[in-house]
Chains A and B, each alone.
Chain A
Amino acid sequence: MEVTASDLDNLKATELRLGLPGIDAPEKPAPVSPRGSKRALLVSNEECWPGKNKSPEADSGGQEAQPMAKAQVVGWPPIRSYRKNSFKARKEEMEAAGLFVKVSMDGAPYLRKIDLKVYQDYKELKEALDNMFRCFSTGELSGMQGCNGSEYAITYEDKDGDWMLVGDVPWEMFMSSCKRLRIMRRSEATGMPSSP
């Protein structure tokens, strides 16, 4: 399964890392699939094999940063295609349909509905919500990390029925577990647990 350059860019953009901002994993060429040149595969494998004590993956942030981009390797993890296909079919069904969730805002007289599939990441979602509910709020909405001074927090109800603060989990995970959104007044939002 080949991974294109633009896929890699998107992946990078949504990647949540604990490293300091500004530090970037060194750009290395993506490993070609085993169908490609053997020499290239051997070379890229070379980098994977730690002949030394210190693993190239370990960094102080605790997040595994693979030396290469996250391209798929044939047959890894070792799951039979029977199993993979069972889930793929369902996933594809879900992906075809939209993922519409209701959005409510404290103090607003009516709700809105948005299709989460339309957005690539939290940034886009936030902007869309900003635009949608601008007329009801005095300033910028912000429910994400590093919010300062905003009156509101963006929260969502997940599959288990719990209300969570938006922005903690990877985007895909959020998309699959979000049932509805609620823009809460910040005063009510204090003491919210983050996702497990």
Chain B
Amino acid sequence: MSEDEEDERGGGEGKRWSPDLIGGREGGSGGADPPPLSDQVLENVLENVLQFLDSRRDRNAASLVCRSWCRAEAQTRRDLFIGNCYAVSPARAVERFRRVRALVLKGKPRFADFSLVPPRWGAGFYPWLAALVPAYPWLERLCLKRMFVSDDDLSLLAKSFPSFRDLTLICCEGFGTAGLAAIAEHCRHLRVLDLIENDVEEEMVDWVSRFSTTSLESLVFDCVGCAVNLDALEALVARSPSLRRLRVNQHISVGHLRRLMARAPQLTHLGTGSFGDGGGGGGEVEVADLRAAFAASMSLECLSGFRDLASEYLPAIYPVCANLTSLNLSFADITAEQLRPVIIRCHNLQTFWVLDTVGDEGLLAVAATCKDLRELRVFPLDASEDSEGSVSDVGLVAISQGCRNLRSILYFCQRMTNAAVATMSENCQELFVFRLCIMGRHRPDHLTREPMDEGFGAIVMNCKKLTRLAVSGLLTDKAFGYIGKYGKLLRTLSVAFAGNSDLALRYVLEGCPKLQKLEIRDSPFGDAGLLSGIHHYYNMRFLWMNSCKLSIRGCKEVARRLPHLVVEVIRDKLEEDDVEAVEKLYMYRSLAGRRDDAPPFVEIL
């Protein structure tokens, strides 16, 4: 779950910071005298009204009106979103919000996904769990992203909340099948168990047999590496009439899949396991039989999986293509020729993830049919700098011409032109998210040999709704000048191997008032650039910089001037004491002050 999607629907950021809120003047229900009776009535009325507010941005605004409103809002907030688990202490959060039913908690910075944060850095779930257990006995839903969650944590979670319904774990680690077994066994009302891209320990516990719920609606476990008990899974599916989403792992063969699909014809979201001959055990399946299984599942709107794809099985999905709004083929190594007959049937597609093996030609086919495409992600089969790269500016232009409704794009390539990017900026006015990754570092426009400044400049200039941007290729300070000048709604910016000087960082920090998340790697920005953002850092969730030109002096200066900013200097190994240069900087606003669980390689200034 991404905040970009929320932003589209008008969701919002966490607490808006102003000097008044810092330092304990913040209201909330902690320690205040009970208000006089008339005010009490007013607050009750207020609560009745505020309970209808869903968007957290609206709620944050309401809570700033006055103390009374703050209290009322706190009493009625059911969904709590903590974008950085270190920004506030668990105690403080549960103190203010007494009636929370659903919690979203995010831990490590995003660059941790790319091995840039050393292991054991932090973001442990336990401190939060310990606070949640006594505070929210009626907790129903939990979503954790990039946190460290142990089997014991999961066990405690499962046993502590009798109404617990939904568990979503995204990019987490520290747990295994033993923890899953605890959840399955003790959460009698479990509706959702979504495990998305986690690093799951293979403990060989048969967790699938332990499910005690009959209200299962969603089960996603494609990231669980070990095989599951197939009979138990089939039995579970058979006794779950509410099941709508099922995404299995690659140990499920097409034969097994067919049986599962027969048990759950009401599925709306299906993630296949292995979609080829390799999967063994389930026996050979005729394409026609598999096709019949799909034909019987006409509620399907979302398909994914397709690991170890044998292309002759692909036609089996034809019966449901016309109903699909989402298709994820990004683990299937297919060519344009193999894609074409599939995509041509998917005229209602809104989300499409694919591998670059389909080439520009494949993207042309997408553009020709998927007129309502909102989100496109093109991943590289070979994620290395010197790979061949089968998609290019040609594919991008084709998509921009065919898919005018595009809101979000992630595009990995090796060759790009300013003209193509500019064309997309003109054709796709609805873009919220533009992430272009030219894999070769410092690559210029491959036709004109110029930097990619003008292309990205066109994006920020023309795409007036843009909230998230990732840049790449050869970029000078000029590109950042454009971003600072036009990126007025920009909230997330990712920079790698770009820019010439501190000016670039200054342009962005001075120019983008809505900037929340800034992640930078391998760019020549130093202390001067860092200091140019002093006025803005309290408005941001975090700043990450690695392999830039920062020094300990500059970082200390920031820490000195902004006492409510936690400034972490992360070292890969313990260094000698004369090192001035800062290799990795992670800084974030926090009401909790310096954390007490920092490992030895983290220095908090």
Contacts and interface: CB of A to CB of B under 8 A. Distances in A.
A78 B496 contact: yes
B442 A57 contact: yes
B549 A42 contact: yes
B581 A42 contact: yes
Given A49-B524, A57-B444, A87-B381, A77 B439 contact: yes
B442 to A, nearest CB: 6
Interface string A18-49: 00000000000000001100110110010011
B388 A170 contact: yes
Contact of B115 (A49, A74, A82, A173): A74
Contacts of B549: 42
Given A70-B385, A76-B385, A55 B581 contact: no
Contact of A55 (B113, B386, B442, B547): B442
B248 to A, nearest CB: 14
Nearest to A15: B386
A80 B116 CA distance: 11
B580 to A, nearest CB: 10
A70 B440 CA distance: 10
Interface in A36-92: 38-39, 41-42, 45, 48-51, 55, 57-58, 64, 66, 70, 72-84, 86-87, 90
Interface residues of B, number: 52
A160 B449 CA distance: 33
Contacts of A87: 331, 381
A186 interface: no
Contacts of A134: none
A159 B357 CA distance: 12
Nearest to A169: B388
Interface string B418-435: 000000000000000000
B449 A77 contact: no
Contacts of B95: none
A53 to B, nearest CB: 9
Contacts of B451: 55
B264 to A, nearest CB: 25
Question: Which secondary structure dominates where chain B touches chain A?
Answer: loop
A34 B451 CA distance: 26
B479 interface: no
B114 A80 contact: yes
B590 to A, nearest CB: 25
Nearest to B584: A34
Given A76-B441, A77-B380, A55 B522 contact: no
Contacts of B532: none
A80 B112 CA distance: 9
Contact of B384 (A45, A77, A81, A83): A77
Nearest to B474: A55
B337 interface: yes
A75 B412 CA distance: 14
A170 B381 CA distance: 16
A77 B476 CA distance: 20
A82 B331 CA distance: 11
B332 to A, nearest CB: 11
Contacts of A50: 442, 474, 476, 500
Interface in B287-326: 307-308
Contacts of A38: 579, 581, 583
Given A74-B114, A77-B384, A82-B197, A45 B444 contact: no
A70 B572 CA distance: 23
A87 B387 CA distance: 15
Contacts of A76: 114, 385, 439, 441, 496-497, 521
Contacts of A45: 522, 524, 547
A189 to B, nearest CB: 24
Given A34-B547, A45-B522, A75 B115 contact: yes
A169 B583 CA distance: 39
A100 B385 CA distance: 29
Interface in A85-110: 86-87, 90
A36 to B, nearest CB: 10
B572 A84 contact: no
A96 to B, nearest CB: 14
Given A34-B583, A35-B573, A55-B474, A79 B547 contact: no
A66 B442 CA distance: 9
Nearest to A64: B440
Interface in A153-170: 159-160, 169-170
Nearest to A56: B442
Nearest to A57: B442
A50 B380 CA distance: 27
Contact of B572 (A35, A72, A75, A86): A35
Contacts of B476: 50
A77 B412 contact: yes
Nearest to B111: A75
A147 to B, nearest CB: 24
B448 to A, nearest CB: 10
Contact of A83 (B199, B379, B449, B521): B379
A16 to B, nearest CB: 10
Given A35-B573, A64-B440, A77-B437, A70 B500 contact: no
Contacts of B474: 50, 55, 57
Nearest to A159: B335
B380 A48 contact: no
A73 B472 CA distance: 15
Nearest to A60: B449
A75 B380 contact: no
B223 interface: yes
B307 A86 contact: yes
B500 A82 contact: no
A72 B337 CA distance: 32
A100 B442 CA distance: 39
A79 B197 CA distance: 12
Nearest to B449: A58
Contacts of B443: 57, 64
B388 A173 contact: yes
Contacts of B449: 55, 58
8 contacts: A48-B497, A50-B500, A76-B114, A77-B383, A77-B385, A81-B115, A82-B197, A84-B383
Given A57-B474, A80-B113, 12 more contacts: A35-B572, A35-B573, A38-B579, A49-B500, A73-B385, A75-B115, A76-B114, A77-B384, A77-B412, A79-B379, A80-B114, A170-B388
Interface of A: 34-35, 38-39, 41-42, 45, 48-51, 55, 57-58, 64, 66, 70, 72-84, 86-87, 90, 159-160, 169-170, 173
Top 8 nearest A-B pairs (CB, nearest first) are A75-B114, A79-B383, A77-B439, A82-B197, A80-B113, A58-B449, A49-B524, A75-B115
